Amino acid sequence: MIEPLGLLHGPAAAAAVAAGQAAFLAGGPAAFTLVRLPQDGAIMPVSGIPASLHPALLHLVAPPPPWAGLPADRPCVMGIVNVTPDSFSDGGRHLAAEAAVAAGRAMAAAGADVIDVGGESTRPGAAPVPPAEEQARALPVVRALAAAGIAVSIDTRNAATMAAALDAGARIVNDVSALGHDPAAAALVAARGCPVVLMHMRGTPATMPHLLAYTDPPWDVVRELGAQVAAAERAGIARSAIAIDPGIGFAKGTAHNVSLLARLPVLLNFGCRLVVGVSRKGFIERIAGAAAPHARLGGSLAAGLAALLGGAAVLRVHDVAETVQAVRVWQAILSA
């Protein structure tokens, strides 16, 4: 694996690739002009990459395969609907099924490509929720949104909830434990052949605040996610069905989160779609002083657009309309 550096966007990217001075990142439209080697930190131009690294280079330049039926020619937005009493940002707001369904419908109308429904909070320190209770919260919402023709993902660590949600019409499984929490989860996803998001997290929501020791956060996350991707493939899940998420805020401090966002392209070595969730997270407060989660819109948009610059394909957000507007303006500027 290699780390792409010196990113270019818009017409400059295409011109540099045509001149042999850059390579498209994950099929474009962004391109990179330099690479850094993890072994010794050496930096070299794309045109000087030795033949021994060409296989790794191919992983970075090839477009990821289609995933979950979502558009591949633009960034996508995943709207968050937490059917919980204790989620860090909107806990209790959508606990009633009717309120959650209304929120999901509004997000879809505002431009969300998929709605991510969760019945268990995984904020730092959160206690686990029995799968039966999780399902009682989430399934009516999944069923109603899917019946309305809205693409739905189920945010869960539990195989029984995954199965029930897929039966209710969910299209995607989004697991913060990367299928590591429930021993039956990987086999279930493989048998169903559904798209899955594998997120990086150490420990559990209760223990992750104590697992913050990293040597080089981006490469540590790459290595640990790599092991989880390999485990998923051994279980029979196709690489083309896998998207990955660096897990911003999960077992990570502010400096780790910032480092991951600044060097996000390194995660594209897997050839998978990249899902990033920065919306309203605590690192925004620690950087900018916005104490209340709902007051972190500006920081959320800034971090989200930075993630898109780094190759993210899907932004997982609370504020759908504002994010869709920001992404459209960002795209127009980059393509000019």
Judge whether 176 and 155 are in contact, CB under 8 Å: yes
- What is the rounded radius of gyration, in angstroms, for the C-alpha atoms of the chain? 19
The 8-class DSSP code of residue 178 comes to T
Q: How far is CA 53 from the centre of its chain?
A: 27
Q: Is the peptide bond before 66 cis (omega within 30 degrees of 0)?
A: no
Please tell me which residue in 171, 202, 273, 316 is annotated as part of the active site.
Answer: 316
Q: Say if CB 153 and CB 114 are below 8 A apart.
A: yes
Phi, psi of 7 (to 5 degrees): -75, 145
Catalytic: 281? yes
How far apart are alpha carbons 190 and 235 in whole angstroms?
Answer: 7
| Residue 316 is a catalytic residue | yes
Q: Rounded to an integer, what distance in angstroms lies between the CA atom of residue 243 and that of residue 226?
A: 12
Q: What phi, psi does 115 have (nearest 5°)?
A: -115, 125
Outline where DSSP puts E strands in the chain.
Answer: 3-8, 23-24, 31-36, 43-45, 76-82, 114-118, 152-155, 172-175, 196-199, 242-245, 273-276, 314-317
Beta strands in 104-237 (DSSP E): 114-118, 152-155, 172-175, 196-199
- d(CA 233, CA 326) in angstroms, rounded, equals 36
Tokens of 41: 């930190």
Question: Which position among 281, 286, 296, 328 bears the catalytic label?
Answer: 281
**For every residue of 54-101, which 3-state class applies, written as one string?**
HHHHHHHHCCCCCCCCCCCCCCEEEEEEECCCCCCCCCCCCCCHHHHH
Count how many residues are written for the chain.
Answer: 336
> Catalytic residue numbers?
281, 316
